Amino acid sequence: MREDFGFTQDQIDIQLMTRDFIRKELTFERIKECDEKNEVPMDIVKKCAEMGLTSITLPESIGGGGMGQVTNSLILEEIGYQDVGFATTIGACSLAYEPISLFGTQEQKELYGKYIVEGGLAAFALTEADAGSDVSNARTTAVKEGDEWVINGTKTYITNGANASIYTVFAVTNPGAGTRGMSCFIVERDRPGISVGKEEDKMGIRLSNTCEVIFDNVRVPADHLVGKEGQGFKIAMSTFDITRPAGVGACCCGAMRSCIDKCLEYAATRITFGQPILQNQAIQFMIADMEIRYEASRALAYKVASAIDAGVIDSALASASKTMSSDSLVKISEDAIQIFGGNGYSKEYPIEIIYRNAKISQIFEGTNQVQRMVIIKSLLKASGMM
C-alpha cells in the first residue's frame, strides 16, 4: 500500500496500530463465524472503543481523539480490509455524532459524546420503510408538548439499532412542509417507549446489526432538538457530505486492497496447465484493472477527506467518492471471484464474503443513482444551466 498522501506521523502510527490490531483480532475464522450467526463481535467492538477508534473524530475536550476525516478514513480503510460489515459498525458512531458536531450546542456535544467515549455505540436513525432515498416521505413524528418533544414512528435498516446506547433521530415536526418539516433529535436508548423491532437477515455486512427501532410516545426534553426546528433534512444531507468519503469511500478501498492482495497470493500458487495462473496475461490484466480502480478510488477518497479537514465541503465531490469507491468494490470483488474460480464461490475462502458485503455500499448513505443526481445538479448549476 502506497503512503503518498502527506499523512502525518501520528496518522501513520494510528493507521498501523489499527492494522495490527484488527488483523490480529478479527481473523477470517472469526469473521466467518459471526457472518454465519449474523452477529456483531461485541468483544472486539469494546476493544475498538477502548482504543478510541469509535470516538476518533470527537473533540479532545470531551474525551475524543480530536482527529479529522483523513485519520477517520485511515482507520475505516484498515478495518474495511478485514470486513466491511464490522467497519460499518464502528463507522456508524461518527455518522451518528456528526449532526451534533455540525449543528449541536456544546452541551449536546458533551451529552452525546459521553456515550461514545465511554464505550457505547451510536445509531443514525433516518431511514423508514417508505422513506429511503426519499427522506421527505418520512412518517415518524415529533410533537411539542410543553417542555418536551413526543416522538412516534418506526425507523428501518438502522445500523447499530439494537446495540446503540444513543440515537440521532430524524422526525417530522411540520407535516406538509416537505423537507423543511423534518427536525433532528438526540434520543437516549433507555428512554421509555423505545423498542427494537425486526433484525434484518442480510445478504452481507452481517457483522453489523441492522434492525427496526420503534419509538412509541418517547419523550425527550426540548433541549434535545439539534439545530433549529425544520433543519433536519439539511442536517442529514450536510452529514452525508462529510461521512461518505470515509464511511463508504475509504472503507470500500480497504476491501478493494484486500481483494487485490488475496488475488495476487492465490494466483501465484494456483497451478493450471503446469504453471501458476498469475502467468496468464488475462489474469494479470484483471488484477491490473483492480489496481487502477483502487488507486483512483483511494485518491478521490483522501482528496475529499483532506478538503473536509481544511473546511471545504463539496457535495458533488463527496458523492463522486462514494460512487466511485462502491462501484469499484463491486466490480473488483466480482472479478476476484472469477480469478478464484469455484473456490471464490466457496465459503471456505474469504472472497465470497467480500462480494456479499460489497453490494450494500452502492445503496446505503444514498443510492449511487441519487449520488449521480447530486453530481449532475452541481454541474448544471456551475454551468449556469439551472
Per-residue pLDDT in tens (0 to 9) along the chain, 386 residues: 455 678 999 999 999 999 999 999 999 999 999 999 999 999 999 999 999 999 999 999 999 999 999 999 999 999 999 999 999 999 999 999 999 999 999 999 999 999 999 999 999 999 999 877 777 788 999 999 999 999 999 999 999 999 999 999 999 999 988 889 999 999 999 999 999 999 999 999 999 999 999 999 999 999 999 999 999 999 999 999 999 888 899 999 999 999 999 999 999 999 999 999 999 999 999 999 999 999 999 999 999 999 999 999 999 999 999 999 999 999 999 999 999 999 999 999 999 999 999 999 999 988 999 999 999 999 999 999 87
Q: Are residues 189 and 90 in the same domain?
A: no
Burial of 219 by CB count in 10 Å (0-12 exposed, 13-18 middle, 19+ buried)? middle
Q: Is residue 163 part of a domain?
A: yes
239 and 149 part of one domain: no
> Does some domain include residue 2?
no
pLDDT at 98: 97
Q: Is the pTM of this model over 0.85?
A: yes
CATH code, 315: 1.20.140.10
In angstroms and rounded to an integer, the radius of gyration of the C-alpha atoms of the chain is 21
Same domain, 166 and 264: no
- Is 289 within the bounds of a domain? yes
Asked if residue 137 and residue 17 are part of one domain, the reply reads no
Regarding whether 27 and 115 lie in a shared domain, the answer is yes
pLDDT of residue 158: 97
Domain membership of residue 185 as a residue range: 123-232
199/297 same-domain check: no
77, 212, 352, 365: the catalytic one is 365
| 109 and 150 inside one domain | no
Q: Is residue 44 part of a domain?
A: yes
| Residue in the block written with cell 470515509 | 246
Instruction: Return phi, psi of residue 379, to 5°.
Output: -65, -45
In the chain, the number of structural domains is: 3
* CATH code of the domain containing 42: 1.10.540.10
Among candidate residues 120, 149, 165, the one where a domain is terminated: 120
Residues 6+ apart with CB under 8 A from 315: 237, 241, 374, 378
Tell me if residue 212 is catalytic: no
Report the distance separating Cα 305 and Cα 320, nearest Å.
12
Looking at residue 55, what DSSP letter applies?
T
- My answer on whether 269 and 359 are in the same domain is yes
We report the CATH number of the domain holding residue 176 as: 2.40.110.10
Q: Are residues 172 and 139 in the same domain?
A: yes
Q: Could you say which of 85, 120, 155 is where a domain stops?
A: 120
Residues 358 and 342 in one domain: yes
Of the residues 232, 257, 280, which one is the last residue of a structural domain?
A: 232
Examine residue 3 and state whether it is found in any structural domain, yes or no. no
The answer to the question of residue 4 being in a domain is no
Same domain as 217, residue 160: yes
Please check whether residues 59 and 187 belong to one and the same domain: no
Classify residue 320: in a domain, yes or no: yes
Q: Rounded distance, CA 280 to CA 196, Å? A: 52
Residue 1 falls inside a structural domain: no
Q: What's residue 386's pLDDT?
A: 77
Scored b (16 or more CB within 10 A) or e, 348-379 reads ebbbbbbbbbbbbbbebbbbbebbeebbeebe
